[in-house]
Amino acid sequence: MGGSLAGLLAAHVLAGHADRVTVVERDRFPGGTKSRPGVPQGRHPHVLLQGGQVALESLLPGFLAELAAAGAPRVGMPSDMVLWQTGRWFRRVPATTHIYTGSRAQLEELVRRRVLADPVIDVVEGTDVVGLLGDASRVRGVLLRERSGDARGERRALEADLVVDASGRGTKASQWLMTIGAEAPHEETIDTGLAYASRVYRGRSGVLDGDTVAYYAYPDPDQVHAGGALPLEDGSHLVIVSGLRGDEPPTDDDEFVTYTKRLPHPLLHRWLDEAEPLSPAFGYRQTANIRRRYDLPGRRPAGFLATGDALCTFNPIYGQGMAVAAMSAVALRDALADRRRPPTTRRVQRALLAASRQAWDISAGADRKMPGAVGTAIVGGPADRVAGWYLRRVQERAPGDPVVGRAFRSVLTLSEPVTSLFAPPVARAVLFRPPAPSPAEPPAAPEARDPSPRECPSARAS
């Protein structure tokens, strides 16, 4: 159910285990790299983090070369970016990780082309899933209705041995499960009320030229406004600004530019004064963190799995969604290939949840500290408070210390586990050294590599 990244990649994995895989998509797939109506967030910035790159390349060998050939910008962090977080500017030391910042529509089209070339996979477009077949013990398919605009239109059954919900943040699976006598999953939520607006610009001069290709300021409890500019495949930049509940960014042209004055430095506002707008501003407000706990005890039918945003969705400001969709598909592949244990529904569902756990810990951990945050998962335990104390010290040192910065970025980009923040060189800096100096103003150019940098060997190798 769902033909975006999570659904397509799940279908790709399942095609190795089934006679037929059917992808049911409510939209009709556009030709080329146009955004789909059912993906309103497609107009906003998307990044493919390092962890997602590794996962995609594992699933679709050669994919990153295709992405690069299509012109998707590859941005080195922190060398190519002006980056602000927790009140400090990051030194622009040589990159230890890279992100792709092209449009979501471009990346999705490339994945779709590769996946749907498999003759095992069918697509049913322009069709809604309106219910599940089966009972509390087993799901046996779905009910479909063509999107003709008539809510009372004829329904038809599509039987299946396995149903995978990849329908996204707005999934209706909970109510469908209750309809067949099963139990809806418990939902953990954290909602800061964050809203954002985005608009495409083409620069004429200023900081986003030459050695600087991107700019970003992350929100935190002391600076709740965030925003930045990320390059797209056509040479333009997608500019985003965000604020919390009650102070949402406007979509009016002039007010959008004025809103950037709320950021911690006028750098972006100055650039926009000279840049050429190429699109209207679009807003987006569905940014709550939601985790659906299908892994917990309850009346859970066999033959039903949830993945992608239908399982765990994050505040999009942290850019984790596409990476987690790919990493979840790898988890599905590995769980099905494990010959030591039978791939029961519960075991595979736990593997899918585990693939999203680090991203959840990052996004939910940051958002529960924001003013005005509400939800069922706001309160953490004693372990969360200890971890929070240590992570605050990591964040204070990451902008100026290359060793801590490298470990911090590797965790945020989902390429290394959180335990890498406790490696001896990092822990010594975090626990026993004061924060190293960092730039007082946005650094205009990357630093030259120090011939004898104070970095650990693994940082150089990366």
> Distance of alpha carbon 138 from its chain centroid, rounded?
31
Question: Considering the chain, what is the average pLDDT of its residues?
Answer: 92
How far, in Å, CA of 101 to CA of 198, rounded? 14
Around Cβ 22, how many Cβ atoms within 10 Å?
Answer: 17
pLDDT per position as a tens digit, 158-178:
999 999 999 999 999 999 999
Mean pLDDT of 126-134: 96
pLDDT at 151 over 70: no
pLDDT for residue 206: 63
Place 451 in a pLDDT band, splitting at 50, 70 and 90: very low
pLDDT at 462 over 80: no
Question: Among all chains, which residue has been given the structure tokens 């953990």?
Answer: 188
How far, in Å, CA of 7 to CA of 411, rounded? 25
Domain that holds residue 313: 5-32+36-42+116-189+288-365
pLDDT at 452 over 50: no
Residues 126 and 269 in one domain: no
Residues 206 and 254 in one domain: yes
Mean pLDDT of 431-456: 79
pLDDT for residue 150: 66
Place 40 in a pLDDT band, splitting at 50, 70 and 90: low
Residues 176 and 306 in one domain: yes
Q: What torsion do the CA atoms of 157, 158, 159, 163 make, to the nearest 10 degrees?
A: -120
DSSP 92-116: -PSPSEEEE-S-HHHHHHHHHHHHT
Q: Which letter does DSSP use for residue 150 in this model? A: -
Return the CA Rg of the chain: 22
pLDDT for residue 461: 36
| Residue 26 is assigned to a structural domain of this protein | yes
pLDDT per position as a tens digit, 270-310:
999 889 999 999 999 989 999 999 999 999 999 999 999 99
pLDDT for residue 149: 62
pLDDT at 105 over 80: yes
CATH code for the domain in which residue 181 is found? 3.50.50.60
Residues 325 and 207 in one domain: no
Chosen domain end from 284, 305, 330: 284
Residues 161 and 179 in one domain: yes
Residues 16 and 120 in one domain: yes
As to burial, measured by CB atoms within 10 angstroms (0-12 exposed, 13-18 middle, 19+ buried), residue 160 is buried
CA neighbor of 425 nearest in space, from 392, 460, 450, 454: 454
pLDDT for residue 25: 96
CATH code for the domain in which residue 257 is found? 3.30.70.2450
pLDDT at 2 over 50: yes
Mean pLDDT of 310-323: 95
Residues 185 and 200 in one domain: no
Residues 20 and 125 in one domain: yes
Sign of CA dihedral 457, 52, 202, 266: negative
Using alpha carbons, list the distances in angstroms from residue 221 to 225, 370, 413: 9, 5, 22
Residues 425 and 394 in one domain: yes
Residues 138 and 22 in one domain: yes
Chosen domain end from 226, 255, 284: 284
Chosen domain end from 266, 284, 302: 284
| Residue 425 is assigned to a structural domain of this protein | yes
Residues 292 and 349 in one domain: yes
Question: 113 near 67, Cβ under 8 Å?
Answer: no
| N-term to C-term CA, the chain | 38
Number of domains observed in the structure of the chain: 3
| Residue 67 is assigned to a structural domain of this protein | no
Residue 338: CB partners within 8 Å, gap ≥ 6? Answer: none
